[in-house]
Structure 1
Amino acid sequence: MFSTSCPQCGAPLEFRSAAAVMAVCGSCRSTLLKHGEAVERLGEMAAVFEDYSPLQLGATGQYQTRSFTLLGRIQLRYDAGYWSEWYATFDDGSFGWLSDASGQYAVTTQRALEDSETATLPSFDSLSPGVPFEFDGKRYLASDIRTAQCVGGEGELPFRVGEGWQARVADFRYEDHFITLDYADADQQHGKPALYSGESVELAELACQGLRDEAEIRESAGRYRGDLAAFTCPSCGASLDCPVGVADYVICGSCHAGVDCSAPQATLFSKKRTLEAIDTALPLGASATFDGAKYTVLGLMRCRTPDGESSWDEYLLHNLERGFLWQVHSEGRWERVEVLNHWPMISQSGQVLDDGKTYRESEHYVSEVTYVAGAFNWRVQVGDKTSITDFAWRDFKMTREVTADEIVWSRARPLTNSKVAERFGMPELAAGAAASRRATQPKASESDLKPAREGFTTAGFGPWPWIGTGVMVFVNFGKLFEFDGSTVLVIIGILALWAPEWIWRAFHDESRSA
C-alpha cells in the first residue's frame, strides 16, 4: 500500500492496489497520477451521479474461488443510457472489473494473449451486433457495441482517465460467458484492443459484504430508490414524476417530449410532438402481483410493423427487489416477458436451446414504436425500430431483438385474460377488452390451420391420440366384448396413447396460469 497526501487539498490518499496508476481524491475530486513515490495532479474528476446501486468502494465479495475488493469506479454514458465499471482487486494480486448496468452484472478479468491470438482480434469499426468471434473454443456473438464518455469517477484506477476520456467497447456473449474487447487504448497497442473474459452473474452469487442498504442510499440521495420525484417538463412546463434510481428517461404525457432525468437538471433528448391519444388496457401506475411480489407499470409503448398491418402494446413493470418485467398485449392475448441475462444456446442449424427445450424460428419482422409514455430505464422515442425474430416451443417463445448497437434476448410465456385481470384487480380485462393486433401472430400458417379445420386444437398432440385410438379399436374390435385379458390390454393401450396428451395439457394449463 502506498500512502501520500493530495497536493491540492492535503487530504490523506492511499493506493491499496499495486496495479493502480491514478486515484481520485475523495475530498477535492482532483485526479492524481502516481509517479513512483510522488503524485501529479492532472485536473478534476466529476462526481458520479447517484444511481442507487448497492455497490460502493470498499465492498468485498467472492468470485469463483477468489476474494475481491472494490477500490475504484468509472461511470460511462452513451447516447441511450449509462453504466458503471467497478475496479476490483483480487486476493492473488490480479484485478478485474464488475460491470453494473441497470442491475445486470458481469465480472471480467484481463487475458494475456499470444501474438497469434492478438492478430485475429477484429477492428472496432468492423463490428456490429451478431458478428461472431471465436475464442477458447467457443463461438461468441457480439451483443453490444458502444462508444461512451467517462462522466464521473472515484477511488483508484489502473489506467489514466482524464476530461473527455472516451471508451470504445464491444461485448460478446456465449450463454453466460462474457467477453469485452476494450479499444480505449488501442492506438497505444498498435490498433489492438485489450481482452477481458468472464461471465454474467447475479449479485447474490458474489456473496458481497459491505453493500449499501436502503437507509444508506436514502441518506446519500435524500430519498429512497423508487420514490417519485416531481419536476417540470423542460418543453411544455407540465408536471412530471420520475421514479428515482429506477427509470431515468420520461416521456411527457402532455407534449410527448423525451426528458433525461439522470442528471440534477432535467434535459430534453427528444422534442415535443403531436400524437393522437390511444386507449390501452393498462394505465400507467397500475399494480399487479407476480410470484408474490408487487410490480407497478412505469411505461407503455405501442408498436407496429412498418406496413401497419399489425400492432401491439408493451408495458414496462418494475419491482424494487426483483427488477423489470414486461407485459405484452396482442389481439386480446397476454404474455409475460423477461429479459435474459444469460443467453440461450444457438445451434448451428439456427435452433435455440434453453432449459432443455428446443425453440424453432417462427417469425421475423421489424417493430416500430408509434406511441410511448411514462418512464423507462433506457432512452426510447417514437420512430425507434428493432429487428425481431421469434422462436417458438409450443406456447412458449424466445425473442431476439437486434438494433444497430445491441442484441437483447427475452423469454415469453402466455397468460390468460382471467389471470391478468386477477393480478391487476381489473375484472374488465377478463373479457379481453381493448385488444390490439400484434405482429408476432399476424396470420396462421397452413400447418397451423389444418388441425383446426379437422376439429382438433393446435395445442398438445393434435389428432394423433384420436387416430391411434381409432386404429387400435378397429384392429381389436372383436376382442373388446370378450371381457378377458385381451380387453384389458386394449384399454391399457388406449390409456397409453392418451397419457402424453393429458400430461401436456396439465403442464400447459399450469404454465398459462403462471
Structure 2
Amino acid sequence: MFSTSCPQCGAPLEFRSAAAVIAVCESCRSTLLKRGEAVERIGEMASVFEDYSPLQLGATGHHENGSFTLLGRIQLRYDVGYWTEWYAEFDDGAFAWLSDASGQYAITTQKELEAQDSALPRFDSLSPGVPFDFRGKRYLAADIRIAQCVGGEGELPFRLGDGWQARVADFRYEDRFITLDYSDADSPDGKPVVYEGESVELAALACQGLRDEAQIRESAGRYRGELAAFTCPSCGASLDCPAGVANYVICGSCHAGVDCSAEQATLFSKRRSVEAVETALQLSASATFDGAKYTVLGLMRCRTSDAQYSWDEYLLHNLERGFLWLVHSAGSWERVDVLNRWPMMSREGHVLDAGKTYRENERYDAEVMYVAGAFNWRVQVGDKTSITDFTWRDFKMTREATADEIVWSRAKPLSNSKVAERFGVPELATDNASRRVNETAGAASDDKWYLSRGFGPWPWIATGLMVFINFNKLFDFDSSTVLVIVGLIALWVPEWIWRSFHGQPNTSRDGASRSKR
C-alpha cells in the first residue's frame, strides 16, 4: 500500500493496489497519476452518476479460486446506453474487470495470446458475428462499441482523463466471454489487450459489503424502481421514470425521447408526430410470472420492412428478477427472455440449446413504428433490426442483429387465458384485443398470417368425419381400411407441403433490438 496526500487539496490518499497507476481524490475529484513515490495531478474526473448498483468500493467477492476486492470503477457511455466497469484486485495481486450492464454481470482477466490463438483482428474490420478463435473455442463478436468515460472513482490500472475513449469488442461462446480492448493506441505493438472470462450471476460471486436498499436510497434520494416524476423538456407533459431501472423515456404526448440518467433530464430525440395505436396492454399494467410481480415499463409496435406484418412488444420489470418481454403477434402471446448464455450453432446452421435442435424458420428486418414508456436503452421510432427465427415445436430462439451488436432470446408461447389471468384482464382471454391490434396493422397482414398457418382446421375436420363414418370398418384391416389410410394421406400431404414452403405454425415475431451491454 502506498500512502500520500492529494497535491490539489491535501486530502489523504492511498494506493492499495500495486498495479494501480491512477487514483481519483474523493475530496476534490482530482485525477492523480502515480510516479514513483510522488503523484501528479493530470486533470479532474467527473463524479459517477447514481446507478443504483449494489456494488461499491471496498466490496469483496470470490471467483474461481480467489477472493477479490473492488478498488475502482469507471462509467462508460455509448450511443444508446451506458455500463460500468469495476476494477477488482485479487489476493494474489492479479486484477480483473467486473462489468455491470443493466444488472447483467461478466468478470474477465487479462490473458496472453498463445501460438494456436487467432491473429488479432483490426478494430475497424469487426462486425457482429465475426469469429475469433481462442484456446480451442470459436467465439463470435457480440458487441462492438466506442464509448466515452463519463465518470470514475477509486484506483485504476491505466491512465485516463478527459475525453478518454474505450474501443472494445466483446465475443461470446455460450457463457464464456472475451473482450478485445483497443483503447490503448499508444501500445508498442498497437495490438488490443485480451480479457477472458464469463457471464456471472452476482449471487454466485458471494459478495460481502454490498449496499443495501437503505444505503442506496440515502445516496440517491429514493429507492430503486420508485417512480420519479418530471416534466418533458419538449412539451411539458408529466412523465414518470423508474429510478435506476430504465433511464430512457419516450413521452406519450409528443413522442420525444428523454434521457433521465443524469440529474437534469435531456432530450435524445426531438418531438415527432406519430399516429396513436391501441394495444392490448397498457403502461404500468402488472402481472405475476414465476411467483414475482412484473410491471409493464415500455411498449413498442414493430413491423417488417415491407410493412406486411406488425406486432407489439412489452418490456416488463421486477426489481429482484430483472427484465422480461411479452410479444403479442397475430393473436398469439409469447414470453421472451434475453439470454446471457449464448446457444451453440451446428455445422448445418441449426441452434442447439438444452438438448433441443432449433431449425431456421424465417429471416426478416424489423422496424420500430411506435414506442412509449421507459426502457433500459435508448430506443426510438425508426430503429431497425435484422431478425432470424429458429423454431423447435412451439418454442423459438431469435437472433437479433444491428450494426453494433447481436442479442439472443428464447420465446415460449402463452395462451390468451394465461395472459388474461396473470394481468387480471378477462378481455384478454378472448380474441377481441387481438382483433383490434390486427385491424390497425391492416387486412393484408391478417391474410398472410392465415395463409402461413396452412389450410387451417379443414384437414382436421375432414379427418374426423372420415374416421367417424368408417369407424366400424377401420379394424377389419381390409380394403376399406386401406382406402381410409389413402384418404388421410391425400388430406395431409398437401398440408405438410404447404407448411414446408410457407413456414412453421409458430409465426409470431419479435424484433426490436434489446441492447445488453
- Tell me: CA distance 1:113–1:415, structure 2 relative to 1, closer, same or farther (3 Å): same
Q: Which amino acid in structure 1 is aligned with residue 309 of structure 2? A: S
- Stretch deviating more after TM superposition (305-314 or 106-115): 106-115
> Cα offset for 1:76?
0.2
- Tell me: CA distance 1:25–1:210, structure 2 relative to 1, closer, same or farther (3 Å): same
Partner Cα distance (1:470, 1:51) in 2: 72
Give the corresponding residue for 2:454: 449
Give the corresponding residue for 2:74: 74
Deviations 1:277-301 (A, max 9, x none): 1111001010101111110000000
Query: Does residue 1:213 correspond to 2:218, yes or no?
Result: no
Alignment of 1:173-322 (within 5 A): 173-322=172-321
- Tell me: CA distance 1:450–1:427, structure 2 relative to 1, closer, same or farther (3 Å): closer
Give the corresponding residue for 1:346: 345
Give the corresponding residue for 2:430: 431
Give the corresponding residue for 2:399: 400
Alignment of 1:20-31 (within 5 A): 20-31=20-31
Partner Cα distance (1:413, 1:309) in 2: 23
Partner Cα distance (1:7, 1:227) in 2: 41
- Tell me: CA distance 1:94–1:333, structure 2 relative to 1, closer, same or farther (3 Å): same
- SS for the counterpart of 1:72 is strand
Partner Cα distance (2:287, 2:188) in 1: 52
> Cα offset for 1:232?
1.3
Contact 1:333–1:432 (8 Å) recurs in 2:
no
- SS for the counterpart of 1:449 is coil
> Cα offset for 1:99?
0.4
Q: Which amino acid in structure 1 is aligned with residue 422 of structure 2? A: R
> Cα offset for 1:332?
1.4
Contact 1:363–1:440 (8 Å) recurs in 2:
no
Q: Which amino acid in structure 1 is aligned with residue 222 of structure 2? A: R
Deviations 1:169-202 (A, max 9, x none): 0000000000000000034243310000000011
Deviations 1:319-345 (A, max 9, x none): 001000101101111101111111111
Name stretches of at least 5 consecutive residues in structure 2 with no aligned partner: 480-517
Give the corresponding residue for 1:97: 97
- Tell me: CA distance 1:394–1:116, structure 2 relative to 1, closer, same or farther (3 Å): closer
Deviations 1:343-401 (A, max 9, x none): 11111211111111111111111110000000000000000000011110101111110
- Tell me: CA distance 1:108–1:444, structure 2 relative to 1, closer, same or farther (3 Å): farther
Contact 2:116–2:135 (8 Å) recurs in 1:
no
> Cα offset for 1:103?
0.4
Deviations 1:9-55 (A, max 9, x none): 11111111111011001111111100111111111100100000010
Name stretches of at least 5 consecutive residues in structure 1 with no aligned partner: 478-514
Partner Cα distance (2:167, 2:243) in 1: 28
Partner Cα distance (2:450, 2:96) in 1: 50
Contact 1:340–1:409 (8 Å) recurs in 2:
yes
> Cα offset for 1:91?
1.3
Give the aligned length.
468
- SS for the counterpart of 1:455 is helix
- SS for the counterpart of 1:245 is coil
Partner Cα distance (2:69, 2:232) in 1: 41
- SS for the counterpart of 2:217 is helix
Give the corresponding residue for 1:334: 333
Give the corresponding residue for 1:129: 128
Q: Which amino acid in structure 1 is aligned with residue 410 of structure 2? A: R
Give the corresponding residue for 1:112: 112
Partner Cα distance (1:441, 1:160) in 2: 60
- SS for the counterpart of 2:460 is coil
- SS for the counterpart of 1:454 is helix
Deviations 1:90-139 (A, max 9, x none): 1121101000000010000000124775x710000000111111111111
- Tell me: CA distance 1:403–1:471, structure 2 relative to 1, closer, same or farther (3 Å): farther
Deviations 1:206-236 (A, max 9, x none): 1111111101000000100011111111111
Contact 1:186–1:194 (8 Å) recurs in 2:
no
Q: Which amino acid in structure 1 is aligned with residue 387 of structure 2? A: I
- SS for the counterpart of 2:73 is strand
What do you get for the CA RMSD once the two structures are aligned?
Answer: 2.5
TM-score, length-normalised on structure 2? 0.86
TM-score, length-normalised on structure 1? 0.87
Deviations 1:235-267 (A, max 9, x none): 111111111100000001110000001011111
Q: Which amino acid in structure 1 is aligned with residue 219 of structure 2? A: S
Contact 1:96–1:109 (8 Å) recurs in 2:
yes
Give the corresponding residue for 1:375: 374
> Cα offset for 1:445?
7.6
